[in-house]
Structure 1
Amino acid sequence: MSATMLLRDIMTTAVVTVAPDATLAAIREIFDKARFHHVIVLDDDQVVGIVSDRDMFKSLSPFLRTAAEQSRDRATLHRRVHQIMTRHVVTASPEADVRAAARLMVRHSIRALPILGADGALEGIVSWKDIMRLIVEDDEPAANSASAA
């Protein structure tokens, strides 16, 4: 990565949010239709949790959408987001350095960082893929010149 790059330069501002009482069926539909892997849980416009597609899949019955599906399997779709969300959300500022954010993600073993403004309002999200994309794009000129040699 060249020069200091800030999270505001790479964050996604189109963030999918849900309420704590949303059902797993609702977030499954979001994950099925969108290319997002995380939804932010907001209560009164404050970040109170985060749910990844992995969290959701671990909470749903593995028999859903199979021939073995039963009513108890479908019942897992009625669980609420607040029952499975990560409550202690690690966040960052849009002014934070990308390298510092990457270290934070590694230290906490997380795959996404909600980005909060000075007022605590959700402004965006940065995922590990955003950081990897930045590294790969930054390396492309070097890779192209190395392959031409």
Structure 2
Amino acid sequence: MKHLRTVDDVMTHAAMSVDRGTVFKDIVETMRMWNVSALPVLSEDGRVVGVVSEADLLLGEQDTSPDRATTAGQLMTRPAVTVTKEATIRAAARLMARCHLKRLPVVDGDGRLVGVVSRGDLLKVYLRPDADIGTEIRELIMYQLIPHGSAEVHVHVSSGIAYLYGSLPDPALEDVVVRAVGTVPGVVDVKADFTVPAAA
């Protein structure tokens, strides 16, 4: 399995959407057909201008005024909360949590829809094999964190938990290593047991 780091690595590229003129009944039918609870609403040039959700539809259905909202453009929530395909998985997860959303439209640099990412998509990173995670951790430690030959760090990964042990040339490096390893996609927790040289 390749390294899963960005939204582009895990998102659904075939994203269903509606335009601003799509009527109430057609929105409901599209949601049912694709088994989704919300749809991006696009402008004529493909930019995401809002999102219409089941909650928006239910609120619209309760409106009995003569000028009640009946189209996606009238019913949608705007501006849409979106994420770029280059965003990290962690950043997308934080955005979803902060905005209490189950899915996000994914846009390119011009704001055009290129996919959708869901909570389930973001959790794919935790399906990485332990061996892949271990290999990435070893490469991280060897080539980026600790000068070659100055430490002996052993890595074992089980069920996403990274166990690190061995020796470090400087006690201050332990926190650096643990924090960095914790950012490796698929790592659930980090357990470290290092020895360091005694103070002179």
Q: 1:81: Cα distance to partner?
A: 1.4
CA contact 2:47–2:110 (8 Å) conserved in 1:
no
Q: 1:110: Cα distance to partner?
A: 2.0
What is the percent sequence identity of the aligned residues?
A: 31
Q: 1:12: Cα distance to partner?
A: 0.8
CA contact 2:19–2:41 (8 Å) conserved in 1:
yes
Return the alpha-carbon distance in structure 2 between the equivalents of residues 34 and 12 of structure 1. 13
Q: 1:3: Cα distance to partner?
A: 6.1
Of Structure 1 and Structure 2, the greater strand share is in 2
Return the alpha-carbon distance in structure 2 between the equivalents of residues 121 and 38 of structure 1. 17
**Any unmatched runs of 5+ in structure 2?**
131-157, 161-200
Q: Please give the per-residue CA displacement for 1:52-92, whole angstroms capped at 9, x wherever unaligned.
A: 2333244335xxxxxxxxxx7xxx8x811122211111211
CA contact 1:22–1:81 (8 Å) conserved in 2:
yes
2:127 aligned residue = 137
Pick aligned residue for 1:103 from 94, 98, 102: 94
2:35 aligned residue = 35
Q: 1:6: Cα distance to partner?
A: 0.7
2:151 aligned residue = none
Q: Classify the secondary structure of the residue corresponding to 2:84.
A: coil
Pick aligned residue for 2:117 from 123, 126, 132: 126
Q: Classify the secondary structure of the residue corresponding to 2:36.
A: coil
Pick aligned residue for 2:76 from 76, 80, 85: 85
Q: Please give the per-residue CA displacement for 1:79-123, whole angstroms capped at 9, x wherever unaligned.
A: 111222111112111111001111011112222211111232211
**Distance verdict in 2 for CA 1:3–1:12, change over 3 Å:** closer
Q: 1:4: Cα distance to partner?
A: 5.6
1:66 aligned residue = none
Rg (Cα) greater in structure: 2
CA contact 2:60–2:75 (8 Å) conserved in 1:
yes
State how many pairs are aligned: 127
Q: 1:23: Cα distance to partner?
A: 0.9
Say what the alpha-carbon RMSD is for the aligned residues: 2.7
Q: Please give the per-residue CA displacement for 1:9-46, whole angstroms capped at 9, x wherever unaligned.
A: 11111111111121110011111222222211111222
With normalisation by structure 1, the TM-score equals: 0.71
Between the two structures, name the one with larger relative contact order (CA 8 Å, sep ≥ 6).
Answer: 1
Return the alpha-carbon distance in structure 2 between the equivalents of residues 43 and 37 of structure 1. 20
Q: 1:137: Cα distance to partner?
A: 2.7
Return the alpha-carbon distance in structure 2 between the equivalents of residues 31 and 96 of structure 1. 26
With normalisation by structure 2, the TM-score equals: 0.55
